[in-house]
Structure 1
Amino acid sequence: MTATDNPLLRATFFLDTEHDAIKTFTRQVTSDAASDGQRATALFAAVRDEIRYNPYYISQEPADYRASSVLTGGANWCVPKAVLLAATARAAGIPCRLGFADVRNHLSTPKLQALMGTDLFVYHGYVEWLVEGTWNKVTPAFNSELCARSGVSPLEFEVGHDALMHEFAGDGHQYMQYVRDRGTFIDLPLEEILAALRTTYQGRVIGLMNHTGEEF
């Protein structure tokens, strides 16, 4: 089966795996990898740390969610970061799809809770990929520097294991609670996500703030 025959390897509008920037990034990050497991591990760490987490600006423009655009932005929130990881995985020959879940972040800052009006994050983005015969769910949302400042260990991918948000922080306090599975998708269901954000947050978050603050 070729990549074009397998929808989990195919380029899409948002997962623009054929873009030169995506192919170059993927090739550079995986240059020393000798297996799909090593390629997946390297890509996960690169997307996690090279695109800093910034939840304070959510664009309504579809072009901003293309993996090639996310790659050049330097900072973004969980959904675009998942798009980038999925695109690079497909570029590396790793079958994958996008997944979404509603989560409660019990360590979110008062500033972010005041903006959102809740600690519920709808449509938190992750990637579900097939690596060396095993399906695993991974989220590259929070970069290592941010995790260190917040007292939370950064997620690491190991073949055969999920890399999802920790239920508890290092000090024992409850951290992230997965409360609703939104399913998996071949490409980004952007309009569905934006509609849920508008309904949940009553217009408080989309396009409201655009700065480089890094907070939960």
Structure 2
Amino acid sequence: MSTTMNLTAPTQTIESTHPTVVDFAHQHSGGVGSDIEQAVRLYYAVRDVIRYNPYRIDLTIAGIKASTTLLNKRGWCVSKAILLAACCRSIGISARLGFADVRNHLSTAKLREKMGTDIFYWHGYTEILLAGKWVKATPAFNIKLCERFRLLPLEFDGQNDSLYHSYDTEGHRHMEYVEYRGVYSDLPLNDIIQTYQEKYDATNEKSELNVENFDEDVELENQG
């Protein structure tokens, strides 16, 4: 669980003082307005500027840290949550990481086959301290992906939790939260790796999925 550390301080992955993170945060927060207003701007920047791609997962500090996600302009739920936390911390807003196991009813066939399950363990989101309370923010799915996949895009107002919808735009099951794993001041990478090794048929950060195109597979699923 989260420790009592300063939740605006940098860590190995939540690089709130890294120059590229600082530049991105200041550019997209606008530098004016309340903490809520700035956090909302950062949420939408991370959600939409960084493309969601769960086929390219690197379970190393170097591969998952905020500056790497910015460099690659792509990420998955955990790396995008890390980036949002880093951006918030860089402008003095306390932020931490939250995790849950979710049943994803709308993942691609290739991803389900690779994982051997429709449960995504250690799904990541960001918790941000705004107006005296912790608010959940999930910046994973960018708007263009939502449009392709016929998902309801997650909005964030800085006052209410932004969590996955239970159903898509056509009434089909989307996400089901199975178990919450708590909140952390830094990435519990070893715990995540251990769970992946236990739960998934194959855990390989250099898997063949890394050469596939997630967006193309989404298109194929929708045409099927």
Equivalent residue, structure 2, for 1:38: 37
The count of residues paired between Structure 1 and Structure 2 equals: 212
Counterpart of 2:210 in structure 1 is 210
Structure 2 SS opposite 1:210: helix
Q: Taking structure 1 as reference, are residues 33 and 167 closer, same or farther at Cα in structure 2, changes over 3 Å only? A: farther
The answer for the alignment partner of 1:27 in structure 2 is 26
- How far residue 204 of structure 1 moved from its aligned partner, in angstroms, is 4.3
Q: Which runs of 5+ in 1 are unaligned?
A: none
Query: Where does residue 221 of structure 2 map in the other structure?
Result: none
Work out whether residues 137 and 156 of structure 2, in 8 Å CA contact, stay in contact via their aligned partners in 1: yes
The letter for the 2-side match of 1:210 is N
Structure 2 unaligned blocks of 5 or more:
219-224
Does the 8 A contact of 1:103 with 1:121 survive in 2? yes
Q: Residue type of the partner of 2:42?
A: L
**TM-score, structure 1 as length reference:** 0.92
Cα drift, residue 33 of structure 1: 3.7
Whole-angstrom distance in 2 between the partners of 1:102 and 1:17 = 26
Q: TM-score, normalised by structure 2?
A: 0.89
Matched-pair contact (CA < 8 Å) for 2:103–2:119: yes
Q: One-letter code of the match for 1:147?
A: C
State the distance in 1 between where 2:65 and 2:108 align: 29
Cα contact 2:12–2:61 (8 A) shared by 1: no
The separation in 1 between residues aligned to 2:138 and 2:109, in whole angstroms, is: 23
Determine if contact 2:99/2:125 at 8 Å carries over to the other structure: yes
* 8 Å contact kept, 1:41–1:158: yes
Contact 2:102 2:179 in 1 (8 A): yes
Percent of aligned positions that are identical:
44
Helix, strand or coil at the partner of 2:182: strand
**Structure 1 range deviating more: 156-165 or 25-34:** 25-34
- Determine the structure 2 residue equivalent to 1:197: 196
1:106 matched residue in structure 2:
105
Separation in structure 1 between the aligned mates of residue 43 and residue 67 of structure 2, nearest angstrom? 16
Report the equivalent of 2:87: 88
Q: Distance in 2 between matches of 1:33 and 1:168?
A: 36
- Separation in 1 of the partners of 2:214 and 2:171? 26
CA apart distance, 1:115: 1.6
For residue 203 of structure 1, report the CA deviation from its aligned partner: 2.1
Please name the residue that 2:180 is paired with.
181
Distance 2:145 2:63 in 1: 23
1:170 to 1:205, Cα distance in 2 relative to 1, 3 A: farther
TM-superposed CA distance for 1:63, in Å, is 0.9
